[in-house]
Chain A
Amino acid sequence: MGYLTRYVVLSLLSVAAMAETTLKPGDMVPDFTMPATNGFGQRLEEARGSFLMVVWLGRCDGCSETLVRYQLLAESLAIEGLKGWFVWTPSGKSEPPNMRLPVLRYEEKWRQSWQFEERPAVMLINADGRLDHLITGDLKENYQETEQVVMRWMSQGRDYQVPE
């Protein structure tokens, strides 16, 4: 019985700890450095001072077509200080997307990296390194919403999304 109680308490604590580590709008994004499949690695700290759109791809095998619009969005707003990175996680024989923007490769072996989640997501990180918006779900379906949010975000400068 003692063991069971301990197990339940520990499980609850670990769930609570996991919940705490999940990023939500308003949180500071922990620093990371990841190698890129198309050039130099990128470090989050070095992007301070710019608006940053990090697109976590989730499962992606040569998904360039889906990402073209995100790339265009980032490139069209580059002059206003927006940077765009894609984060790709290799799985099996999957191929990374072929993009002009940095495609970061997440691999567990690099101690300077961390993985957000398996599912696709778009993070909008402000110049201070704080997460302003988090849009999760299918990248194709979420593009319109992302574009609207990014445009508003860029025009307003700082537009913290109030966590629910």
Chain B
Amino acid sequence: MKYILLLMLSLSGLIFTNANAEEAAGQKDDAEIREEVMSVKEAVLELNRDLYELERELLSPATTRAAFHLTLNHGEFFEPLAVELSVDGKLELQHLYTERQVKALRMGAVQPLGDLNLAPGKHDVTVIIRGVDHLGQGRELTLTEIVSKTGKPLITELLIVDREELQSARLELKYW
């Protein structure tokens, strides 16, 4: 009887240990799976980043990349409401400004208008900025310039500059 009791006790102990071991193994498996999932996630993110960079390079390679930015110097005599940029007669970029965006430009923000693909050579760039002057009258600033695109990226800034002597503003194109 004593032996049977001992046998039963040892058996139940064995079962309990086994269950514990299984549970521990299960937890270990879970941790491993979690780690694997994390590493897969990281790999996917890395791959996504690589794909994004590849896409950028394919869509806008350095040889054809032309970037346009817009800044506002003071903005006392002109507030932009809309901008349209055409290259060789084709409308390429446009933007509508809100009050908040103009405030940001006034505080020194540089607005990336957009990136274009331009073949090396000369291009006719026309920019029209519609807005209002300090008296609330509608005004239009225009700029037409022949831009030479080389094999390097072309990065430009459209700068709205106040002309205090004339109480108006003009539009300039700067190359970075």
Interface set of A (CB-CB < 8 Å, partner B) = 33-35, 39-43, 46, 109-113
Contact (Cβ within 8 A) A41 B94: no
Contacts of B82 in A (CB 8 A): 35, 41, 110
CB pairs A–B below 8 angstroms (10 shown): A33-B98, A35-B82, A35-B96, A40-B98, A40-B102, A41-B98, A110-B82, A110-B94, A112-B95, A112-B96
Contacts of A41 in B (CB 8 A): 81-82, 96-98
Give CA–CA (A107, B79) in the complex, Å.
21
- For residue B99, CB closer than 8 A to chain A, the reply is yes
Give CA–CA (A112, B81) in the complex, Å.
14
Q: Closest approach, in angstroms, between the C-beta of A102 and any C-beta of chain B?
A: 10
- For residue B100, CB closer than 8 A to chain A, the reply is yes
Interface SS of chain A: strand
A40-B81, A41-B81 as given contacts; A34 in contact with B96, CB under 8 Å: yes
Q: Which of B96, B97, B98, B99 gathers the greatest number of chain A CB atoms within 10 Å? A: B96
Interface set of B (CB-CB < 8 Å, partner A) = 79, 81-82, 94-100, 102
Contacts of B100 in A (CB 8 A): 46
Contacts of B97 in A (CB 8 A): 40-41
Q: Which of B79, B82, B94, B98 gathers the greatest number of chain A CB atoms within 10 Å? A: B98
Give CA–CA (A34, B100) in the complex, Å.
14
Known: A41-B97, A109-B94. 10 other contacts (CB 8 A): A34-B96, A40-B97, A40-B98, A40-B102, A41-B82, A41-B96, A110-B82, A110-B94, A112-B95, A112-B96
A35-B81, A41-B82 as given contacts; A46 in contact with B98, CB under 8 Å: yes
> Which of chain B's residues has its CB closest to A43's CB?
B98
Contact (Cβ within 8 A) A110 B98: no
Contacts of A112 in B (CB 8 A): 94-96
Contacts of B94 in A (CB 8 A): 109-112
Give CA–CA (A42, B79) in the complex, Å.
15
> Which of chain A's residues has its CB closest to B93's CB?
A111
Contacts of A111 in B (CB 8 A): 94
Give CA–CA (A42, B96) in the complex, Å.
9
Q: Closest approach, in angstroms, between the C-beta of B94 and any C-beta of chain A?
A: 6
Q: Closest approach, in angstroms, between the C-beta of B80 and any C-beta of chain A?
A: 10
Give CA–CA (A46, B81) in the complex, Å.
16
> Which of chain B's residues has its CB closest to A47's CB?
B98
Give CA–CA (A148, B36) in the complex, Å.
57
Give CA–CA (A109, B86) in the complex, Å.
13
Give CA–CA (A113, B94) in the complex, Å.
12
Contacts of B102 in A (CB 8 A): 40
Q: Closest approach, in angstroms, between the C-beta of B136 and any C-beta of chain A?
A: 9
Contacts of A40 in B (CB 8 A): 79, 81, 97-99, 102
Give CA–CA (A112, B94) in the complex, Å.
9
Q: Closest approach, in angstroms, between the C-beta of B99 and any C-beta of chain A?
A: 4
